[in-house]
Amino acid sequence: MMLRKSIFTLLVLSSTAMSHAAASFDPATVLRQLTDEEKVALLVGVSSNGCNASGDVGRLEKNAMGAAGATHAVPRLGVPSIILADGPAGLRINPTRKGENRTYYCTGFPVGIHLASTFNPQVVRKVGAAMGNEVLEYGVDVLLAPGVNIQRNPLCGRNFEYYSEDPVAAGLTAAAFIEGVQSQGVGTSLKHFAVNSQEVNRLANDAIVSERALHEIYLRNFEIAVRKAGPWTIMTSYNYINGTHATECKWMLEDLLRGQWGFEGAVMTDWGGGYRMASAVAAGNDMIQPGADKYYNEILDALHDGTLSRQDLDRSVLRVLELVARSPKARGYVPGNNPDMASHAQVALEAAQEGIVLLKRNALPLASSGKIALFAVGSYDFIAGGTGSGDVHRPYVVNLQDGLKKAGFSMDEGVDAFYSEYMKEERSRTDVINKSLPWYVPHERALEACPAGVIKASAQTSSAAIVTFSRISGEGKDRIEGMDFELDGREIQLLKTVSEEFHACGKKVVVVLNICGAVQTASWRDMADDILVCWLPGQEGGTAVADVVSGRVNPSGRLPISFPMKYTDDPSSSDFPQIIPDKPFNYSHYRNFRDGRIRRDIKDIDYTEYKEDIFVGYRYYVTRDVEVAYPFGYGQSYTTFAWDGFSVKKSDDGAFVAKIKVTNTGECSGKDVVQLYVKAPSSSLEMPARELKGYAKTPLLAPGESAEMEIDVPEEYIAYYDPQRHGWITPKGKYTFIAARDAVTIVRKCTVCM
Ligand code: GLC
């Protein structure tokens, strides 16, 4: 055993010398020259703290850099170590390094759900390219993003990182992101493959999902991204899928991912994911991250006792070598460590503007000549992103007050004076529970912070009020209905008082939702004249919201998820864990065995049954005619648009080409989104009322200007998955193509007979 460990240690130690002397190499040639020990080390990453399990110092650069992981080098054969770092909203590395008097901040871009809300692949691609440039210039090789999992339930703690409840919206957004990042010559890791829909007991939860729902909902998003954008890597999920751990799902990793979808990259575990590493390698999960001696020894033993075939080992080693060979390190790229942060900030701002969703409009935009009474701590402490590996060490965050002042608005003196004092106290609070936990409600003392007298006086002196409600969430924790989905009683009381006082003076009230996922709106929205959703909009969030408030930007975002009237309307709410922790702690390891055993004791924790099947989100609400507060795809504009000339034709390659003309019929420039749904003919299986098959966003149209929009739908998107035949079927019959503003607002229809 000592020999094996010492070899592993030797590889790690020598990799330090290698990291900047990279030279290209030929993977197949190197494979033939590797020893067994070198091969296994390539499949087991550098351990999580940069050392291997025996404590020897590993890659100092990785440690200093604060990246998530690294691969081992093989110095004698010119194979460099490559570095892997998070995440979906920006590169995640340490902002400072020991002994250096400079910083390494990374741009904080809008989070995943915000990017999806743009319904604009061009904007998402631009974000990816800017983020990819920081990955390249800071010396990282693979960005551990995007997270493309389906938002099955409104309370999943990682929904902010993910894109949508719909697999086409999620897959197309992920594809654009991957194209952008990889255009910089660095890799991505499409994650978490697959069915990663809750954080409670994430390392051991068994997702029990029907074959049809698995293919139509939870794998289709990955399929679209893999086929369209070719991510360099895939990251498997922590959970089990119908009793098999994701890392050991050979049918998924080999037959489906590579055999059917044509994936040619490498597959890695999530950090600490999986239990039986030799089985994982045999199933096509090529790399174990982070590394540890026990994984190295387990795989080496399995190779020597024959439980892991040399063919399977070599197949995974070759994939890892091919991944390394395409990396900036192997190409000898010397990072400049000085990316253009100013231009990237502009990209972050444009994406933040593009993804803001206008839910209700009566007063907006506001004239900057008037004074704004800005209420709630959230207005002064804007949340730019979520917590966990999806967080970013960003250089700054523009809060809403800063943004409004920059946009030329003046603040109501009384309210401003009060909050500037109050925020000093709020920020100095040591009693506040860890802000990274979803139930931290930064503004819950806002009512105390703003006595009725101040509100009353400001209603006289201001032209409008803005109230910000904030919600944060993060990896390792799910949200709680009462604390996160519902607004806090004090929040409602604050809005009620502001609404009564300002409406009594004929003034307007705008609510800004700075949130990580859907919240309850039905019970309070009548108290607000206007409602904006700005999700977690990145470092330029306050600027972007102020640009929309002032009318400098016409909002064009659309909801990529449904907002139910109440949480229990959601079809998965009866099959989702609701654990109210008695103290701030990370309960993702809630009942994890860490030895591969699956418990079947506690519903929704040990195992979760996806009883809603394919009827996730709008597929459920529209098909079952359940009213929602705001439907999937919803979003208003400051202008109006007319749609004409809708047609759908089948092209020679089998794709459906939908065309429609969009005209700006309003008073100001704006962008519109055409959503294309299809209602399939009835079959032996229940079909949803309609399903999104594509969308297109217009360029900025001036009043009176038109654009001819085209939406191409690959033929395979129309098929449904038949579990009897274990395959996709496109039955003959009448397919209704629907041009819609959202999942419930149909504008044009036409039928195509197949
Ligand atoms: C995490 C996350 C994954 C992340 C990885 C590395 O636990 O699940 O998304 O990329 O570890 O930080």
Ligand 1 center–CA 192 separation, angstroms: 9
The pLDDT-based confidence of 737 (bands split at 50, 70, 90) is very high
Nearest CA to ligand 1 atom 11: 271
> What's residue 51's pLDDT?
46
Average pLDDT, the chain: 91
Average pLDDT rounded to a whole number, residues 38-59? 66
pLDDT reading at 339 higher than 70: yes
- Establish whether residue 191 lines the binding site of ligand 1, counting it when its CB lies within 6 angstroms of any ligand atom: yes
Q: Which helix (H) or strand (E) holds 227?
A: helix 220-229
- Whether 660 shows a pLDDT value over 90: the answer reads yes
**SS3 (DSSP) at 25:** coil
- Nearest residue CA, atom 8 of ligand 1? 270
Per-residue pLDDT at 447 exceeds 60: no
**pLDDT tens per residue, range 486-540:** 998 888 999 999 999 999 999 999 999 999 999 999 999 999 999 999 999 999 9
| Residue closest by Cα to atom 3 of ligand 1 | 270
Ligand 1 atom with least separation from CA of 192:
9
Least confident residue range of 168-182, 583-597, 639-653, 677-691: 583-597
Q: Which amino acid is at 123?
A: V
Burial of 456 (0-12, 13-18, 19+ CB in 10 A): middle
Mean of pLDDT values over 181-208: 96
Closest residue by CA, ligand 1 atom 7 = 271
Provide the 3-class DSSP secondary structure of residue 30: helix
Query: Cβ-count burial of 380 within 10 angstroms (0-12 exposed, 13-18 middle, 19+ buried)?
Result: buried
- Ligand 1: centre distance to CA 85 (Å): 9
Cα of 411 vs centre of ligand 1, distance in Å, is 41
Mean pLDDT of 610-616: 98
Pairing of strands 727-729, 734-740: unpaired
pLDDT at 6 over 70: no
Over range 71-85, report the average pLDDT: 92
User: What local confidence, expressed as pLDDT, does residue 532 receive?
Assistant: 98
pLDDT of residue 55: 36
11 pLDDT above the threshold of 50: no
- pLDDT over 70 at 183, yes or no: yes
CA 314 to chain centre: 33
| pLDDT tops 50 at residue 60 | no
**Quick check: is 270 catalytic?**
yes
Distance 462 CA to ligand 1 centre (A): 46
Q: Average the pLDDT over 674-700 and give the result.
A: 96
pLDDT the model gives residue 63: 58
Active-site annotation holder among 141, 270, 391, 478: 270
pLDDT at residue number 698: 98
Most informative mutation of 48, 142, 144, 161 for ligand 1 (most atoms within 8 A of CB): 144
According to the 3-state scheme, what is the secondary structure of 394-462?
CCCCCCHHHHHHHCCCEECHHHHHHHHHHHHHHHHCCCCCCCCCCCCCCCCCHHHHCCHHHHHHHHHHC
pLDDT grade for 335, boundaries at 50, 70 and 90: very high
| Ligand 1 centroid, distance to 28 Cα (angstroms) | 30
Q: What's the confidence (pLDDT) of residue 273?
A: 92
pLDDT score for 49: 55
Is 389 close to ligand 1, i.e. is its CB under 6 Å away? yes
Q: For residue 2, what pLDDT is reported? A: 36
Closest residue (by CA) to atom 9 of ligand 1?
A: 389
- Assigned token pair, 179: 């194209």
Please report the pLDDT score of residue 593 as a whole number.
65
Beta bridge partners, 530, equal 510
Specify the residue with its C-alpha closest to ligand 1, atom 4: 389
Q: What is the mean pLDDT of residues 386-400?
A: 94
In the block, tokens 């360099």 appear at 232
- Name the 3-class secondary structure at 522: coil
What amino acid is encoded at 718 in this protein?
A: I
pLDDT tens figures, 555-586: 999 999 999 999 999 999 999 997 765 544 44
Residue 271 CB less than 6 A away from ligand 1: yes
Q: Is the predicted pLDDT of residue 58 greater than 90, yes or no?
A: no
The answer to whether residue 443 scores a pLDDT higher than 50 is: no
Q: Which long-range contacts (CB under 8 A, 24 or more apart) does 163-166 make?
A: 163/112, 163/113, 163/115, 163/116, 163/221, 163/560, 164/113, 164/116, 164/560, 164/561, 164/632, 165/560, 165/561, 165/562, 165/616, 165/617, 165/618, 165/632, 166/560, 166/617, 166/618, 166/632, 166/691, 166/692
- Of 432, 436, 504, 528, the C-alpha closest to 476 is 436
Specify whether the backbone of 274 is left (phi greater than 0), alpha (psi in -120 to 50) or beta: left
Q: Please, how many CA atoms are within 13 Å of residue 207, restricted to the half-sphere of its CB?
A: 30
- Look at residues 249, 251, 284 and name the one whose alpha carbon lies nearest to residue 265: 284
Task: Kindly state the tokens that stand for 164.
Answer: 């949508």
Q: What is the pLDDT of residue 602?
A: 87
Ramachandran area for residue 506 (φ above 0: left; ψ -120 to 50: alpha; else beta): left
Residue having the nearest C-alpha atom to atom 5 of ligand 1:
271
pLDDT at res. 718: 95
**235 φ, ψ to 5°?**
-110, 125
Query: What share of the chain in percent tops pLDDT 90?
Result: 79
∠ CA 449-451-457, rounded to 5°: 125
* Contacts of residue 20, Cβ cutoff 8 Å, sequence gap at least 6: 334
Q: How confident is the model at residue 598 (pLDDT cuts 50, 70, 90)?
A: confident
Q: Using 50, 70 and 90 to split pLDDT, how confident is the model at 48?
A: low
Instruction: Read off the pLDDT of each residue in 411-424 and give the average, rounded to a whole number.
Output: 91
Cα gap 538→89, rounded to integer Å? 8
- Taking the C-alpha atoms of residue 488 and residue 251, their distance in angstroms, rounded to an integer, is 46
DSSP codes of every residue in 276-341: -HHHHHHHT--BBSSB-HHHHHHHHHHHHHTSS-HHHHHHHHHHHHHHHHTSTTTTT----S---H
The rounded Å distance from CA 355 to ligand 1 centre is 25
Residue 61: pLDDT band (50, 70, 90) is low
Q: DSSP letter for 218, please.
A: I
Of 86, 143, 203, 234, the one to substitute when testing ligand 1's pocket (max ligand atoms within 8 A of C-beta) is 86
Chain centroid, CA 301 distance in Å: 38
Which residue type sits at 10? Answer: L
The C-alpha atoms of residue 379 and residue 429 are separated, in whole angstroms, by 18
DSSP sequence for 62-82: HHHHT-SEEPPPBGGGTB---
Ligand 1 center–CA 417 separation, angstroms = 42
Distance (Å, rounded) from C-alpha 712 to C-alpha 709? 10
Q: Ligand 1: which atom is nearest the Cα of residue 87? A: 10
Q: Evaluate if residue 290 carries a pLDDT over 70.
A: yes
Query: For residue 305, is it left (φ>0), alpha (ψ between -120 and 50) or beta?
Result: alpha
What's the CA dihedral at 477, 478, 483, 487 to 10 degrees?
120
Pair 632, 166: CB distance under 8 Å: yes
Residues 6+ apart with CB under 8 A from 323: 82, 142, 187, 232, 233, 265, 266
Pocket lining: 92 vs ligand 1, CB cutoff 6 Å: no
CA 132 – CA 148 distance, rounded (Å) = 18
- What is the pLDDT at residue 64? 61
Q: pLDDT grade, residue 225 (50/70/90)?
A: very high
Largest Cα span, the chain: 82
Q: Is the pLDDT of residue 739 over 80?
A: yes
Query: Exposed, middle or buried: residue 424 (CB in 10 Å: 0-12, 13-18, 19+)?
Result: exposed
pLDDT of residue 97: 87
Q: Alpha-carbon distance 586 to 430, whole Å?
A: 20
Cα 6 from chain centroid (whole Å):
40
How confident is the model at residue 237, as a pLDDT?
Answer: 98
144 ligand 1 Cβ < 6 A: yes
Q: Is 70 in the pocket of ligand 1 (CB under 6 A)?
A: no
Q: Which residues contact 510 (CB under 8 A, 6 or more apart)?
A: 363, 364, 366, 464, 465, 466, 467, 528, 529, 530, 531, 532, 549
Q: Ligand 1 mean position to 606 CA, how many Å?
A: 21
Q: Is 354 helix (H, G, I), strand (E, B) or coil?
A: helix
Tens-digit pLDDT profile for residues 449-486: 689 999 999 999 999 999 999 998 989 889 989 888 99
What are 746's two structure tokens? 């149909």
β-bridge mates for residue 728, sequence order: 721
Please give the pLDDT value at position 436: 44
pLDDT of residue 694: 98
| Per-residue pLDDT at 22 exceeds 70 | no
Q: Which of these ranges, 202-206, 314-318, 644-648, 702-706, has the smallest mean pLDDT?
A: 202-206
Helix or strand holding residue 136 (H, E):
helix 121-137
The whole-number average pLDDT for the span 237-259 is 97
Q: What is the pLDDT of residue 46?
A: 86
